[in-house]
Amino acid sequence: MQIKLIEAAMQARQASYSPYSGFRVGAALLAKSGEIFTGCNVEIGGHSATCCAERAAIVKAVSQGVREFSAIAIVGGPDTGPIPGCFPCGVCRQALAEFCSDDLVIIVAENTEKWREFTLAEMLPHRFEEAAAE
């Protein structure tokens, strides 16, 4: 399943709109149902409005009524040259935490032959949870 997700993320990366950074990112989010939702980064001139690939995939899935996920693959890097592997930013980690359990598998890939896997708990060990805030 990892290779299928990485391939979907690589394909999504091609749709990236990244004229400012030249850093293209694609993500493929696997629902527990087996459905895959993809997203790419979309940069906006006022950078705070930029949407990361991971959040684009989450929003796509949630807007279609899907809210249970088991894995996400992320492929990102410069327009040209090698792809170094792209970790989700803090905002994306918190967005994943909103809809995913600690055992969500996060695949950070350079390509279909080289990737690393982490759990959400490893990437966001002390995530904000409403119950913890009370």
Catalytic residue among 7, 43, 54, 68: 54
DSSP lists the bridge partners of residue 77 as 24
Q: 129 catalytic, yes or no?
A: no
CA distances from 29 to 62, 70, 110, 120, 131 (A): 11, 8, 17, 13, 26
- Among 63, 62, 60, 126, smallest CA distance to 97 is for 126
Tell me which residues are annotated as active site. 54
